[in-house]
Structure 1
Amino acid sequence: MDRIDTMRVFARVVERRSFIRAAEDLGLPASTVTDAVKTLEARLKVRLLHRTTRQVRATLDGEAYYQRCLTILDDIEEAESAFSGTRPRGVLRVDVQGAQARRLIVPALPHFFAAYPDITLYLSETDRFIDLVREGVDCALRTGEPKDSDLIARRVALLPEVTVASPAYLDRFGTPERWNRLDGHRMIGFHSSATGGVLPLEFMAEGTLRTVMLPSVLTVNGADTYKAAALQGLGLIQVPRYAVAQNLADGTLVECLPDTPPSASPVYVLYPRNRQLSLRVRIFIDWIATLYGRQIPDTAVR
Structure 2
Amino acid sequence: MDKLKALEAFVGVVDTGGFTRASELLNTPKATISTLVQELETQLGVRLLHRTTRKVSVTADGAAYYERCRRILDDMREADESVSPRQGLPSGRLRVDVPTSMASFLMFTGLNDFLTRYPDISLEMGCSDRVVNMVSEGVDCVIRVGDVSDPTLVARRIGSMQFKTCAAKSYVAAHGVPTHPDELRAHRWVNYFLPGRGAATWDFAKDGERIELQPEGGLSVNDSNVYEDAVLAGLGIGQLPSFTFECACRAGELVAVLPDWTTDPLPVHVLFPSNRHLSTKVQAFVEWMAEFFEKTPGLRRV
Same fold (TM over 0.5): yes
Unaligned runs of 5+ in 2: none
1:1-302 matches, within 5 Å, as 2-83=2-83, 85-105=87-107, 108-193=110-195, 196-206=197-207, 210-294=211-295, 296-297=296-297, 299-301=299-301
Residue 199 of structure 2 contacts residue 215 of structure 2 at CA under 8 Å; is this kept in 1? no
Mapped partners of 1:209, 1:93: distance in 2: 40
Residue 293 of structure 2 contacts residue 301 of structure 2 at CA under 8 Å; is this kept in 1? no
Q: Give the partner amino acid of 2:227.
A: Y
Mapped partners of 1:56, 1:233: distance in 2: 48
Q: Could you tell me the TM-score, scaled by structure 1's length?
A: 0.89
Deviation at 1:27, TM superposition (A): 0.8
Task: Give a deviation string over 1:193-224, Cα, whole Å, max 9, x none.
Answer: 3x531223221334675311354332222223
Deviation at 1:39, TM superposition (A): 2.1
Mapped partners of 1:116, 1:162: distance in 2: 34
Residue 161 of structure 2 contacts residue 298 of structure 2 at CA under 8 Å; is this kept in 1? no
Instruction: Go from structure 1 to structure 2 and tell me whether the alpha carbon gap of 1:239 and 1:150 turns closer, same or farther (over 3 Å shift).
Output: same
Moved over 4 A (4+): 206-209
Mapped partners of 2:6, 2:204: distance in 1: 54
- Percent identity (aligned): 38
Give SS of 1:191's match. strand
Unaligned runs of 5+ in 1: none
Task: Give a deviation string over 1:66-88, Cα, whole Å, max 9, x none.
Answer: 01111222222333434571222
Residue 13 of structure 1 contacts residue 19 of structure 1 at CA under 8 Å; is this kept in 2? yes
Residue 91 of structure 1 contacts residue 120 of structure 1 at CA under 8 Å; is this kept in 2? yes
Deviation at 1:240, TM superposition (A): 0.6
Q: Could you tell me the TM-score, scaled by structure 2's length?
A: 0.89
Residue 173 of structure 1 contacts residue 184 of structure 1 at CA under 8 Å; is this kept in 2? no
Q: What RMSD, in angstroms, separates the aligned Cα atoms of the two structures?
A: 2.4
Residue 186 of structure 1 contacts residue 214 of structure 1 at CA under 8 Å; is this kept in 2? no
Q: Give the partner amino acid of 1:245.
A: E
Task: Give a deviation string over 1:33-89, Cα, whole Å, max 9, x none.
Answer: 122212222222221111111222111111000011112222223334345712222
Deviation at 1:184, TM superposition (A): 2.6
Instruction: Go from structure 1 to structure 2 and tell me whether the alpha carbon gap of 1:93 and 1:197 turns closer, same or farther (over 3 Å shift).
Output: same
